[in-house]
A and B are shown apart, each in its own frame.
Chain A
Amino acid sequence: MTEVWITIAGLAATTLAIKAAGPLALGGRELPRGAFAVIGLLAPALLTALIVTDTFANGRELTVDARAAGLAVAAVAVLLRAPLLVVVLVAAVGAAATRAVS
């Protein structure tokens, strides 16, 4: 149980520091043009990385399982311009249905 509380305290501290670092170092300062071009592309790069690791990674292993089915259904919902909440719900239903039949 001590390990749990040490983990909570340690993770709270590192999270706080990581989130504060950028705003402390750069806040309110003008950045060169090139920096904005890079910063603007962080979102698509990071979001795609999160999508593929949350869907296909199992620790260090790559797998295709029910999560991929959920993502496929979500992609269809995105293409149909469904609201974010609908996208999320159909993904859960898609993954659950895939698990139920497999």
Chain B
Amino acid sequence: MTRLASYRPGLKAGVGFAFATFVLGVSFGVLAEPLMGQVAPIVMSAVVFAGAAQFGATAVLAAGGDAFTAIAAGTMLNARFLPMGVAAATGLRGRPLRRAAEGQAIVDASWALAVRGENGFDRELMLGATIPQYPAWVAGTVLGVLGGSALGDPEALGLDAIFPAFFLGLLAAELGRPRAVAAALLGGAIALTLTPFLPPGLPVLLASSAALIGLWADR
């Protein structure tokens, strides 16, 4: 019972995230259906479960790119899960296979919720928060694929503004930490500066280097 109870705060937060995830899933289904048909977008959401990467890879295919380019674009958009996984690893225990499996629960919102800065990483919070988001993502995709045309243009509904607003809300909770504001400003500046020169995805990955100011300020 106590073990189950430890997941409850995460599940509660995850249900809140799940609504936003669901809406994003709908917009993915709407955007992917004309290109992929009805089955492929749903399979993609079920086996990839990474919004930005799915949008990115789909955009490449829609622009006439081949599978290799689409995979590369999606993978670069996912590259941020590498440093995120390093942070999450501090809270994961048990055998390698189990840690690798739990690492699959890393999604932006759950990770941002569970990361505790210098105090480690809250494994139960992350797992609990991801559990409601997975079915919401897949179900949203199903609805978008089947009923997308009835909903209208996702941009006219402002759905593309959901992602940044979501991340802004998460960021606000992070800024209380020492040097967090500096890291945020530096990360944003790096991403904006590199955007014109690199393929989408890489600027975000390289912006994670802003966290290195944590080393230097310690002295």
Contacts and interface: CB of A to CB of B under 8 A. Distances in A.
Interface string A41-64: 111111111111111110111100
Contacts of A45: 183-184, 186-187, 207-211
B35 to A, nearest CB: 7
A95 B96 CA distance: 44
Interface in B59-95: 61, 66-68, 70-71, 74-75, 78-90, 92-94
Contacts of B16: 83-85
Nearest to A26: B89
A18 to B, nearest CB: 5
A18 B164 CA distance: 23
Given A19-B81, A53-B200, A84 B179 contact: no
Contacts of B78: 14-15, 18
Interface stretch (B4-12, B101-109, B132-140, B142-150): B101-109
**Secondary structure class of chain B's binding surface, majority of residues:** helix
B53 interface: yes
Contacts of A92: 23, 157-159, 161-162, 165
Given A44-B175, A87-B169, A8 B210 contact: no
Most chain B beta-carbon neighbours within 10 Å: one of A14, A97, A100: A14
A37 interface: yes
B151 interface: no
Q: How large is the interface on B (under 10, 10 to 19, 20 to 34, 35 or more residues)?
A: 35 or more
A15 B48 contact: yes
A26 B91 CA distance: 10
B180 A41 contact: yes
Interface string A19-43: 1111111111101011011111111
A18 B175 CA distance: 27
B118 A36 contact: yes
B172 A42 contact: no
A67 to B, nearest CB: 5
Contact of A55 (B115, B164, B171): B164
A42 B20 contact: no
A65 B1 CA distance: 50
Interface of A: 1-8, 10-12, 14-16, 18-29, 31, 33-34, 36-57, 59-62, 66-67, 69-71, 74-75, 78, 83-85, 87-88, 90-97, 99-100
Given A41-B213, A84-B166, A88-B23, 5 more contacts: A39-B211, A48-B187, A53-B192, A84-B17, A92-B161
6 contacts: A11-B70, A11-B75, A26-B89, A43-B180, A53-B200, A53-B204
